[in-house]
Amino acid sequence: MPAPLYQIPLRRIDGSEASLGDHAGEVLLIVNVASQCGLTPQYDGLEALYRRYRGRGLAVLGFPANDFAGQEPGTNEEIASFCRSAYGVDFPMFAKIAVTGADRHPLYAALAGEEPISWNFEKFLIARDGSVAARFSPKTTPEDPAVIAAVERELAKT
């Protein structure tokens, strides 16, 4: 039976339909991102992580959200353009969603459960079977040894 996360409908940043099922069998790093946040430079580390491990089955997935201090005010088109031009982002980006509050997207309801998302750039590592393997705070950078170790541990599993 497919993992419940894989069945949640999503939209890519270009508006096309998607789901995490498109990435079934891969290790996923899901991140709520924002373009005008003090943590925005983490895009560099996320892209580097993606380039380093995508050949081994890692997908970094960015989900823009404007939930914290209005730090992602742009349209999907503006966000995509910014990410490409400022940070060379090549990892999959999705349409802007809410990660907190009454309008919270079902993906984030499933990922976080009752524990709230604390800020932009919170990270969820999803195992190949679709379960949450690890969660990292916004201040934990993609280059952090704990993130690297968790990614490598999950990639080593078959």
Q: Where are the domains of the chain?
A: 4-156
Residue 37 annotated as catalytic? yes
* Predicted pLDDT of residue 158: 76
Residues of the chain with pLDDT under 70: 1-2
Q: Which CATH number fits domain 4-156: 2.30.29.30, 3.40.50.2300, 3.40.50.150, 3.40.30.10?
A: 3.40.30.10
**CA distances (Å), origin 125, targets 79, 84, 153:** 23, 23, 11
Where residue 98 falls (left for φ over 0; alpha for ψ -120 to 50; beta otherwise) is: beta
Q: What is the 3-state secondary structure (H, E, C) of 82-104?
A: HHHHHHCCCCCEECCECCCCCCC
pLDDT tens figures, 39-78: 999 999 999 999 999 999 999 999 999 999 999 999 999 9
* Predicted pLDDT of residue 2: 58
Q: Which of 3, 24, 37, 98 is catalytic?
A: 37
